[in-house]
Chain A
Amino acid sequence: MRKDSSRTKPGRRDFLKLASIGAVAAGVAGVAGRKAEAEPDAGAQRSGYRLTHHVKKVYELARF
């Protein structure tokens, strides 16, 4: 198996920094704390996630 097939070229991190993705982060910093781990039930790593689509419950979990 290949060791690391997703090596990042050096520019990516700088590019992301400059692209101001943080604009979205800045405003939600206060609430982002609890959000970060609010991923839907990761329980069984590979199969635990349920894509509750559209207008459904999972979005309650996906709150910022």
Chain B
Amino acid sequence: MESAVIEAECAIGSEERLRLLPYKLLARYLAAPPDRELLELTTRLEGDGTPFGRAVAELAAGASETTPAAAGDEYHALFIGLGRGELLPYASYYLTGFLQERPLADLRADLGRLGVARAEGCPEPEDHAAALCEVMAGLISGSFGDGRLSTQKRFFETHIATWMGRFFEDLEGARTARLYRRVGTVGRRFLEIEETAFAMVDGHEAAVSVDG
């Protein structure tokens, strides 16, 4: 068992590990409005001519044209609003039209198996897009889960690929979004990469439940 884990660790090449960063970047933008530091960091991102690279370059440009206050207003209008924001970035909502439905229950069961628990006193459901991006980052880094690509693949295909691309599209077209439209494009393009790359992993039904 231990040697299997070590093997898996060694198998994490830098390309695999780099995938952490987009997930964390997206998680930070979706979890809270960007502070000055995050905006500053974002302006330093450089993209190349690939679709994802272009999206990143656009986001970098956008970050240099905004301020924490303006981005905060956007965030508020998009996700908090009066009563509710323009968008509801929850898996359950996208999959069923309602919050806290079956997809959330399924997610909780899987998170339990992976050893991820919700912080006490935290009222937000776990199927928020930011939380899911963060879980992916943790699965990649090995903070939890078994370090296997098949585990990542299963989680991604079950809890993310089923809806998050649509959410990012909505973000791209959101009325109140400016900088966040570009966050949406980065997210959509990144998920496309992930989807294609996971198709190159032999996952089958293995992973999460193997060791019960």
Contact = CB atoms under 8 A, between A and B. Distances in A.
Q: Is the interface of A mostly helix, strand, loop or mixed?
A: loop
Nearest to A50: B119
A28 B7 CA distance: 28
Interface string A42-60: 1001111111111111110
Nearest to A2: B206
A6 B52 contact: no
B19 to A, nearest CB: 6
Nearest to B25: A24
Interface string B8-35: 1001010110110110110110011000
Contacts of B211: 1
Contacts of B111: 51
Contact residues of B: prevailing secondary structure: helix
A49 B115 contact: yes
Contacts of B46: 23, 26-27
Q: Please tell me the size bucket of the interface on A.
A: 35 or more
Interface string B190-212: 10010011001111101100110
B196 A15 contact: yes
Given A23-B48, A31-B41, A54-B130, A9 B200 contact: yes
**Most chain A CB atoms below 10 A, which of B18, B28, B32, B118:** B18
B117 A8 contact: no
A36 B143 CA distance: 11
Contacts of B141: 36, 39
A15 B57 CA distance: 20
B60 interface: yes
B19 A16 contact: yes
Contacts of A64: 21, 24-25, 41
A12 B194 CA distance: 10
B31 A55 contact: yes
A15 B115 contact: no
Interface string B30-68: 011000010001101111101011001100100000000
Interface of B: 1, 4, 7-8, 11, 13, 15-16, 18-19, 21-22, 24-25, 27-28, 31-32, 37, 41-42, 44-48, 50, 52-53, 56-57, 60, 111, 114-120, 122, 124-126, 128, 130-131, 134-135, 137-138, 141, 143-144, 148-151, 153, 190, 193, 196-197, 200-204, 206-207, 210-211
